[in-house]
Amino acid sequence: MGREQCIGLAIRNARKANKVTQDALAASAGLHKNAVGLIERYEIAPTTDTLFKIADALGMLASDIVAQAELLAMQQN
C-alpha cells in the first residue's frame, strides 16, 4: 500500500479514535454521506480542500493526517 492509499487509512484511524461514524464525519465536513467511505477505502482520492474539511471536522490538522499516512506507509515496507 502506497503513501497515497494510506491517507484513507489515516483518516479512518483518526475517525475511529474520535468515535465518529462515517455519516457524522461526512455531515460535519459538508461531504456526501458516501464520500468518507470511498476515501477511507481509497476508491477516490480526497482533494486538498476535502482533506482540510475532514481534518477540521476531526479537530486536527491536515498535516497530521498526511504525517500519519507516511508513517503507516513506512510500516508496511
Q: Does domain 3-76 bear CATH number 1.10.260.40?
A: yes
Q: CB–CB of 25/54 below 8 Å?
A: yes
Distance from the first to the final alpha carbon of the chain: 9
For residue 7, the model assigns a pLDDT of: 97
Q: What is the mean pLDDT of each run of 10 residues along the chain (77 residues)?
A: 89 98 98 96 95 98 97 89
Q: What whole-number distance in Å separates Cα of residue 25 and Cα of residue 16?
A: 10
Give residue 30's pLDDT. 98
Rounded to whole angstroms, how far apart are CA atoms 13 and 7?
A: 10
Query: How do the domains of the chain map onto residue ranges?
Result: 3-76
Please give the model's pTM, rounded to 2 decimal places: 0.93
pLDDT of amino acid 38: 97
Joined together, the cell numbers standing for residue 20 give: 465518529
